[in-house]
């Protein structure tokens, strides 16, 4: 097993009466890219601040590089980490100077500072910008320079807090490329907060779903997007159908339907993506009545009342116009696509 770079035990954080993080235990190995996803206000930024020693936990411990983070170790440990925020203000100096500033207070000789800065400018393809003023750059260029200012310190652990939230798709792609290059070239461990689920899928080896200050699930991108651990995680990753159900004695009941199943007894939710349900006029798992048809970009969303409401999505190109509100229709799914959760 690789070295554990981050390890937390029962971490919690309370501001006044508001508990923002509860019982967070996680570990991150060297060289991993871990994405923390979750709705706004879930506690993602607070978590990164606790991990980087910018805030103190109310309870629990953080270990970085196998050493406990506390007031005695924080300075030394932080010299091995780097943090990039959503928006960084560059100084009104040249790009080169802005990057070199990352090395102030680090007692690095001037010649070495200059060498590292020009190497980094070359690495990120911004040599021609060296003498440009920081304030004249576009948002995307500015964020790349801000990231270079972090990378020039050679961090072993990077915390990225919504680093592309203000960038357009091209600038986002350029920053993502820098993140991946840094990770591959130096085995730098990365923890990135993002509300952009596609970004988490593109970058992460492992994803943590944080909702209401608790970790709901940790897994590979496929685990998270196809096998959500509970109804809140499923809702966050875009499952449109989260339907109360129960299983007793080999029968699955939901709405007014009852169908045989081999799953074990439970009370909770059945969850399925809208695109994983198929429609037929003649046969299927259950029958219902079409109650709405809505165009959603390249898809048609069809709602069917079967004692509870199901959403189904079919590509607009495949829609032949033969389904109308009020029609009786059958719904089918592959049993692998149906996820059950007790919560």
Residue 94 interacts with ligand ADP (CB under 6 A): yes or no: no
* Per-state percent for the chain, helix, strand, coil, to nearest 5: 30, 35, 35
Residue 20 interacts with ligand ADP (CB under 6 A): yes or no: yes
Rounded-to-integer distance, Cα 179 and Cα 194, Å? 13
Question: Which residues lie across from 62 on neighbouring strands?
Answer: 8
Residue 40 interacts with ligand ADP (CB under 6 A): yes or no: yes
* In the complex, least distance from residue 176 CB atom to ligand ADP, rounded to whole angstroms: 20
Question: Which residues lie across from 105 on neighbouring strands?
Answer: none
Residue 217 interacts with ligand ADP (CB under 6 A): yes or no: no
Nearer to ligand ADP, 16 or 109 (CB): 16
Residues 234-253 that bind ligand ADP (CB under 6 A): none
Q: Do 290 and 312 contact (CB within 8 A), yes or no?
A: no
* In the complex, least distance from residue 210 CB atom to ligand ADP, rounded to whole angstroms: 7
Residue 15 interacts with ligand ADP (CB under 6 A): yes or no: yes
* In the complex, least distance from residue 108 CB atom to ligand ADP, rounded to whole angstroms: 33
Rounded-to-integer distance, Cα 223 and Cα 234, Å? 11
- Both tokens of 280, joined, read 């037929």
In whole angstroms, how large is the CA radius of gyration of the chain? 25
* In the complex, least distance from residue 52 CB atom to ligand ADP, rounded to whole angstroms: 13
CA separation (Å) from 230 to 218, 271, 287? 12, 9, 26
Which of 22, 43, 240, 273 binds ligand ADP (CB under 6 A)? It is: 43
Residue 44 interacts with ligand ADP (CB under 6 A): yes or no: yes
CB-based contacts of 100, cutoff 8 Å, min separation 6: 113, 114, 117, 152
Residue 26 interacts with ligand ADP (CB under 6 A): yes or no: no
Which of 46, 117, 188, 341 binds ligand ADP (CB under 6 A)? It is: 46
Rounded-to-integer distance, Cα 4 and Cα 25, Å? 13
Rounded-to-integer distance, Cα 13 and Cα 61, Å? 11
Residue 134 interacts with ligand ADP (CB under 6 A): yes or no: no
Nearer to ligand ADP, 29 or 196 (CB): 196
- SS3 (DSSP) at 281: coil
Binding part of the chain for ligand ADP, among 39-47, 235-243, 268-276, 282-290 by CB under 6 A, reads 39-47
* In the complex, least distance from residue 55 CB atom to ligand ADP, rounded to whole angstroms: 8
Determine the length of the chain.
Answer: 343
Binding part of the chain for ligand ADP, among 22-30, 43-51, 86-94, 131-139 by CB under 6 A, reads 43-51
Residue 45 interacts with ligand ADP (CB under 6 A): yes or no: yes
Which residues make up the interface to ligand ADP (CB under 6 A)? 15, 18, 20, 38, 40-46
């Amino acid at each position: 097993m690789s070295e554990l770079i981050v390890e937390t035990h029962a971490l919690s954080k309370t501001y006044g009466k508001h508990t923002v993080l509860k019982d967070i235990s996680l570990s991150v190995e060297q060289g991993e890219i871990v994405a923390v996803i979750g709705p706004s206000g879930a506690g993602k930024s607070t978590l990164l601040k606790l991990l980087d020693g910018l805030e103190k936990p109310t309870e629990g411990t953080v270990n970085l590089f196998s050493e406990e983070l506390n007031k005695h170790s924080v300075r030394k440990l932080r010299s091995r980490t780097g943090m990039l925020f959503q928006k960084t203000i560059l100084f009104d100096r040249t790009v080169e100077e802005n990057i070199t500033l990352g090395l102030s207070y680090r007692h690095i000789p001037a010649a070495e500072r200059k060498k590292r800065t020009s190497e980094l400018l070359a690495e990120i393809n911004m040599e021609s910008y060296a003498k440009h003023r920081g304030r004249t750059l576009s948002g995307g260029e500015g964020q790349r320079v801000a990231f270079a200012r972090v990378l020039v310190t050679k961090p072993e652990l990077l915390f990225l807090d919504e680093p592309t939230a203000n960038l357009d798709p091209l600038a986002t792609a350029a920053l993502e490329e820098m993140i991946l290059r840094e990770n591959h070239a130096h085995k730098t461990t990365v923890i990135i907060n993002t509300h952009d689920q596609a970004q988490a899928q593109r970058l992460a080896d492992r994803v943590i779903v944080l909702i209401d200050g608790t970790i709901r699930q940790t897994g590979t991108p496929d685990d998270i997007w196809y096998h959500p651990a509970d109804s809140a995680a499923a809702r966050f990753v875009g499952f449109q159908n989260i339907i109360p159900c129960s299983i007793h004695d080999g029968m699955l009941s939901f709405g007014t339907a009852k169908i045989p199943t081999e799953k074990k007894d439970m009370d909770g939710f059945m969850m399925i993506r809208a695109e994983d349900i198929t429609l037929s006029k003649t046969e299927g798992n259950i029958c219902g009545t079409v109650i709405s048809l809505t165009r959603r970009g390249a898809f048609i969303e069809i709602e069917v009342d079967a004692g509870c409401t199901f959403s189904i999505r079919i590509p607009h190109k495949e829609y032949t116009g033969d389904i109308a509100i009020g029609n009786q229709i059958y719904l089918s799914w592959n049993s692998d696509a149906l996820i059950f959760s007790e919560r």
